Amino acid sequence: MAYCIGDSCISCGSCEGQCPVGAISMGDGQFVIDETLCIDCGSCAGQCPVGAISEG
C-alpha cells in the first residue's frame, strides 16, 4: 500500500528529495504521492517535519 500525504502538509518540500523513485510532486496546494510509483520505502515519512505522511 502506498504512502499518502495528509492535510497537515505545510508544502515545505522536504519529502520530495527523499523519494528514490520520484513519486512525490507538488499538487494543488500541497505535495502528493503518485501511488503507482511509490515503492513503500518510507523515506518520505521519516523526513516530514509535521508527520503529514503515513501509509495509505
What ranges do the domains of the chain cover? 3-55
What is the DSSP annotation of the chain? --EEE-TT-----TTGGG-TT--EEE-SSSEEE-TTT-----HHHHH-TT--EEE-
| pLDDT of 49 | 97
CATH value of 3-55 in 3.30.70.20, 3.20.20.80, 3.40.50.2000, 3.40.50.300: 3.30.70.20
| pLDDT of 1 | 76
- For residue 48, give the amino acid letter: C
Per-residue pLDDT tens over the stretch 38-47: 999 999 999 9
| pLDDT of 56 | 81
Mean pLDDT by 10 residues, the chain (56 residues): 94 96 95 96 96 94
* Residue 19 CB partners (closer than 8 Å, separation 6+): 33, 43, 44
